[in-house]
């Protein structure tokens, strides 16, 4: 039989443990401070490349100056269209294949094919010329994908170009709640981490809410620029009660203490909610963009144009290179 003092000590220990657990749980809950929508932009269809049409939000007059992000395109490409030989300088591009196959080839000799779920990071640096074309070798008549442009820090704009590709099978998935899956292409989500490129990198997450009412809190580093693009279905963000429908880009607030965003699929919906959640650290620098050239001054824009036209300073291979992928659209 326990003595009175021993029993009291045990009761006190249990009480302390319960208090500690409750405090820890309260702290964990209070640590999730959601961002809220500050701007919503519908991605309008616009012609791009040769015969192609994309839905563009970031990079339009409605949504510029979202550092470090320069452009976001949702492309659906049919036969006889694509993005043949074109240059880049001063940015990274992230290409994510959703449907079909996309071929790529550049003037360094690099080439490959993206299939559904594959992602490619290309750092253009001082200069690259490449071709991006749909590949039709299966039972589909349309290729669908996303492309994001990310600005490079001023002191990295003239680095050597580089690539990184990830196959769908190599991308880990978080399953934080019933009916919620998150492909961690880059960044972090619920204990799953994806590689973030040290230059021109960002968090890039493919979120699926598979059932009505499914909800998840996704971490976003404080102070970073964050947004979501809805590929299908609709979603509610933060404490916003009004759902946002597909093809919209939602920019999030970035107030002190806000370290993520609550994402919910509305009740009563029949279409799966699929969206990209993307975040990156803003760059404190000028941004001057002329088409595929992204630099920090007008003088550097003119220099990039001259370098490309004359085959200098990173574009040495440009004058004599023609891609094999682009041949059908050139009429070769």
Q: Which two tokens stand for residue 102?
A: 């996309």
* pLDDT of amino acid 331: 74
DSSP H helical ranges for the chain: 4-31, 298-310, 327-330
Both structure tokens of 176? 């934080």
| Predicted TM-score (pTM) of this structure | 0.89
Domains with residue ranges and CATH for the chain: 37-280 (2.60.120.10)
SS3 173: strand
308: tokens are 């490309």
Tokens in use for 180? 């919620």
Cα radius of gyration rounded to whole Å, the chain? 23
Task: Specify the long-range contacts of residues 191-198, CB closer than 8 Å, at least 24 apart.
Answer: 195/164, 195/166, 197/92, 197/121, 197/123, 197/164
> CA 72 to CA 99: how far, in whole Å?
17
**Alpha carbon distance 306, 192 (integer Å):** 45
CA–CA dist 135, 140 (Å, integer): 10
- The two beta strands, 162-166 and 293-295, are unpaired
Q: Which residues are annotated as a binding site for Fe cation?
A: 86, 88, 130, 132
Residue 313 CA from chain centroid, whole number:
29
Extract the tokens encoding 177.
């709640």
User: What is the helix (H) or strand (E) element at residue 250, kind and residue range?
Assistant: strand 248-252
In the chain the first and final C-alpha atoms are separated, in Å, by: 96
- Output the CA torsion 234→65→166→114 (10° steps): 80
pLDDT, one tens digit per residue, over 78-132 is 999 999 999 999 999 999 999 999 999 999 999 999 999 999 999 999 999 999 9
Mean pLDDT per block of 10 residues along the chain (332 residues) reads: 55 51 45 95 96 96 94 96 97 97 95 96 96 92 97 97 94 97 98 86 97 98 98 96 96 96 97 98 96 97 98 96 93 74
Between the CA of residue 95 and those of 21, 136, 180, what are the distances in Å? 44, 18, 23
Binding residues: 86, 88, 130, 132
Task: Quote the pLDDT of residue 22.
Answer: 45
Q: What is the pLDDT of residues 151-163, one digit of tens each?
A: 999 999 999 999 9
């Amino acid at each position: 039989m326990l003595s009175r003092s021993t029993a009291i000590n045990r009761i006190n220990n249990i009480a302390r443990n319960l208090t500690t657990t409750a405090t820890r749980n309260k702290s964990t809950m209070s640590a999730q401070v959601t961002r809220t929508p500050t701007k919503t932009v519908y991605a309008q269809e616009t012609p791009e490349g040769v015969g192609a049409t994309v839905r563009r939000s970031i990079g339009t007059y409605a949504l510029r100056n979202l550092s470090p992000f320069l452009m976001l395109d949702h492309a659906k490409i049919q036969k006889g269209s694509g993005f043949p030989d074109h240059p880049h300088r001063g940015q990274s591009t992230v290409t994510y294949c959703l449907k079909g196959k996309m071929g790529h080839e550049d003037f360094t000799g690099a080439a490959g094919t993206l299939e559904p779920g594959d992602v490619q990071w290309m750092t253009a640096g001082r200069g690259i010329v490449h071709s991006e074309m749909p590949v039709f070798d299966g039972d589909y008549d349309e290729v669908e994908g996303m492309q994001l442009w990310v600005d490079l820090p001023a002191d990295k704009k003239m680095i050597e170009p580089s690539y990184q590709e990830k196959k769908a099978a190599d991308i880990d998935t978080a399953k934080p709640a019933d009916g919620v899956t998150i492909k961690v292409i880059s960044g972090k989500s619920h204990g799953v981490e994806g590689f973030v490129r040290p230059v021109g990198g960002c968090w890039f997450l493919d979120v699926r809410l598979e059932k009505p009412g499914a909800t998840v809190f996704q971490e976003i580093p404080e102070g970073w620029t964050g947004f979501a693009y809805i590929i299908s279905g609709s979603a509610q963000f933060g404490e916003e009660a009004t759902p946002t429908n597909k093809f919209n880009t939602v920019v999030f607030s970035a107030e002190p203490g806000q370290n993520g965003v609550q994402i919910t699929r509305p009740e009563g919906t029949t279409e799966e909610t699929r969206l990209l959640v993307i975040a990156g650290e803003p760059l404190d620098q000028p941004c001057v963009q002329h088409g595929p050239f992204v630099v920090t001054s007008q003088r550097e824009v003119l220099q990039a144009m001259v370098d490309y036209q004359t085959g200098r300073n990173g574009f040495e291979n440009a004058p004599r290179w023609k891609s094999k992928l682009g041949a059908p659209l050139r009429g070769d």
